[in-house]
A and B are shown apart, each in its own frame.
Chain A
Amino acid sequence: MYVLDIEELTVDFITKMGTHHVLKNVNLRIGRGEIVGLIGESGSGKSTLAMSVLDINTNKRCLSGQICFMGEDISNLSQKRMRELRGRHIGFIPQSSMNALNPLVRVRRQFIETIIDHMDMSEKGMNALVSNMLSLVSIDPERMNSFPYEFSGGQRQRIMIALALLLSPELVIADEPTTALDAVIQLQIIGLLKNTARQKDTSLLVISHDLHTISRICDRIYIMYAGRIVETGTKEEILMSPRHPYTQKLLSSRLPLMVEPVRVKGIPGRSPSTLKVYQGCEFLERCERGSEICREKKPPECTVKVRVSCHFEGLK
């Protein structure tokens, strides 16, 4: 059984400007204890996927498809049941989570709030759990009575990780956990995420636009472009032999650390509008391999069997 099994998830947002097609037929699976990366550029729908799983940001949203969590379809769950799931079974580390802590509430109180909501536990047990979690992310448990502003950015990020993992949820979704942090601290944070997830046998979905940093901890990677999964594979497959032109360009736009100057090209063009409905492949405008068929027909969807969503896959 998969911890998370998303099938043909399509999400539209209906606004005054028209319908935004944000997610299109997304299939994604996460097994028990697996660390999965979801990579895409800004505006590609990564965060919308996370929010659909958590059932937040539902205003003006139109959702179809299936989201199964531990074998249970959660796409039509009641608000009350969803509240029970969030925090207890699904943890969330939000984007710019440095600012996600309530600035007016002591850190300890924010941990205890979560526990009280989901569990019956004695005061003593709660304190023990909180200090246990804090030391797991190498923060001195003595400081649990401090306010968030007394911690540095990296420390706050670690507190958020501890908070998300507090009740040992089966699944943790981390949305851009390292952006806006220094290179050295980034490394610490992703290492910490990996270790804690492994220790608690938690499945982890890491969302990021930075393929190179995140890929270090992932078992499997999904590449997303314009609301569609374009390639999936194990870390080695994606990094060593990328098949989809977008993944190839993404990898080659990495800044090389060369002693002598070398030039790298970015990906030309701009990402497609979510307002438009594309008949063919969304990546066509920026693709060098594009031909007639890409204009007329959609490439095959990425499913369990299909690894790469491109017409030219398997032709060579």
Chain B
Amino acid sequence: MSENELVRVVNVTRVFKNKRLFKGSSSVTALDGVSLSVEKNKILGIIGESGSGKTTLARLILGLLKPTSGLISFSDLKDESGGVRKPAVQVIFQDPYDSLSHKLTIEETVAEPYLIKHKSQCGADTICSVLESVGLTPADEYLHKYPHTLSGGQRQRVAIARAIITNPDLIIADEFVSMLDASIGVDILNFITELNEKRGITFIFITHDISAAAYVCHNIAVMNSGKIVEYGSRKQIMTKCQNIYTNSLLSAAGINIVSPANKKVNSGYQSDHYLVTI
């Protein structure tokens, strides 16, 4: 494995079998020979429509599912004590209204992953600092609240807090802004970029919204019916996309790319930027 890789997915296929009592069994191939590498300290976007296998891929990397065939390997990371360890992986789920337990306070919710990983209680200071780092300030006010008293954006921040408390190397974010209002979603996306830049956390960002992916991701993989149909840097995908499906996604996002030569481009942006209009 090369230096920059964190996770490598090689030729992974996943088939779901459907056993029926009286009729013959049927099967669905959710992933069909997918190969992918996740680069260190980068945000990888996976876009595609529902049923394209995005979430299956995420669950395979998380280890929640086993691949039918193929290999998923994690690179070795240096330990603080000089040894080697495998990267820690965390996940943020789609719906902030369902992913937090109604019966746990914010403090308990955030402390839970720490307790599971380290088998010891987490100090209140750690929880406060994590809550503050996700922008829930003052943290003391939030500690004893229940999720139902929080807004959607705040809940999603709690979900991020519980993901980063174990200091993961890789966070898989599954459609986690699609439930939020646009104005709140933007702030959460900005926060993801900040986490990536400051803490060096690698992200796999799963979405069906190509503009959200283009906003945060360094690299983008486009999936369609279980296959990766296109992979490239943000710039490659947006200016030189080859695949028809990627093109239809781009045009669905309402774009026509205006080149810098065109006068319509807002002069506030640097010349290398392409402004996209409605």
Q: Could you mark each residue 129-158 of chain B with 1 if its beta carbon is under 8 Å from any beta carbon of chain A, else 0?
A: 000000000000000000000011100000
B16 within 8 A of A: no
Q: Which residue of B lies closest to A209 (CB)?
A: B181
Report how far A267 CA is from B181 CA in the complex, Å: 10
B278 within 8 A of A: yes
B69 within 8 A of A: no
Q: In the complex, how many angstroms separate the beta carbon of B188 from the nearest chain A beta carbon?
A: 8
**Pair A256/B275 contact, Cβ less than 8 Å:** yes
Q: Which residue of B lies closest to A180 (CB)?
A: B178
Q: Which residue of A lies closest to B185 (CB)?
A: A266
B253 within 8 A of A: yes
Interface residues of A in 236-271 (CB under 8 A from B): 239, 249-250, 253-268, 270-271
Across chains A and B, the number of contacting residue pairs, with CB separation under 8 Å, is: 107
- How many chain B residues touch A (CB < 8 A): the figure is 42
**Pair B181/A184 contact, Cβ less than 8 Å:** no
**Pair A255/B215 contact, Cβ less than 8 Å:** yes
**Pair B49/A41 contact, Cβ less than 8 Å:** no
A263 is contacted by which of B151, B152, B190 (Cβ under 8 Å)?
A: B190
A239 is contacted by which of B184, B189, B278 (Cβ under 8 Å)?
A: B278
Q: Could you mark each residue 273-314 of chain A with 1 if its beta carbon is under 8 Å from any beta carbon of chain B, else 0?
A: 000000000000000000000000000000000000000000
A210 and B270 contact, Cβ closer than 8 Å, known pairs A183-B209, A258-B275: no
B22 within 8 A of A: no
A255 and B255 contact, Cβ closer than 8 Å, known pairs A41-B181, A42-B181, A260-B273: no
A266 and B270 contact, Cβ closer than 8 Å, known pairs A187-B252, A259-B234: no
Q: Could you mark each residue 257-278 of chain B with 1 if its beta carbon is under 8 Å from any beta carbon of chain A, else 0?
A: 1000000000001101111101
Report how far A216 CA is from B278 CA in the complex, Å: 9
**Pair B214/A258 contact, Cβ less than 8 Å:** yes
CB contacts (< 8 Å) of B274 on chain A: these are 258-260
B170 within 8 A of A: no
A141 within 8 A of B: no
**Pair B50/A183 contact, Cβ less than 8 Å:** no
CB contacts (< 8 Å) of B275 on chain A: these are 256, 258
**Pair B272/A260 contact, Cβ less than 8 Å:** yes
CB contacts (< 8 Å) of B254 on chain A: these are 212-213, 216
CB contacts (< 8 Å) of A73 on chain B: these are none
B238 within 8 A of A: yes
B249 within 8 A of A: yes
CB contacts (< 8 Å) of A253 on chain B: these are 182-183, 186
Report how far A272 CA is from B68 CA in the complex, Å: 51
Q: Which of B186, B235, B274 has the most chain A CB atoms closer than 10 A to its own CB?
A: B186
B195 within 8 A of A: no
Report how far A120 CA is from B248 CA in the complex, Å: 45
B210 within 8 A of A: yes
A262 and B186 contact, Cβ closer than 8 Å, known pairs A184-B252, A255-B212: no
**Pair B215/A264 contact, Cβ less than 8 Å:** yes
Interface residues of A in 203-244 (CB under 8 A from B): 209-213, 215-216, 239
B208 within 8 A of A: yes
CB contacts (< 8 Å) of A153 on chain B: these are 50
**Pair A262/B212 contact, Cβ less than 8 Å:** no
Report how far A257 CA is from B257 CA in the complex, Å: 8
Report how far A70 CA is from B50 CA in the complex, Å: 41
**Pair A256/B183 contact, Cβ less than 8 Å:** no
**Pair B181/A258 contact, Cβ less than 8 Å:** no
Interface, chain A (partner B; CB < 8 A): 41-42, 153, 180, 182-187, 209-213, 215-216, 239, 249-250, 253-268, 270-271
Additional A-B contacts beyond A180-B178, A255-B215 (4; CB < 8 A):
A183-B208, A209-B182, A256-B215, A265-B190
19 pairs from A and B in contact (CB 8 Å cutoff): A183-B210, A183-B249, A187-B252, A213-B254, A249-B183, A253-B186, A254-B211, A256-B275, A257-B210, A257-B211, A257-B257, A258-B269, A259-B238, A259-B239, A260-B235, A261-B234, A262-B273, A264-B215, A265-B187
* Top 3 closest pairs, chain A to chain B, by CB: A266-B187, A266-B186, A257-B276
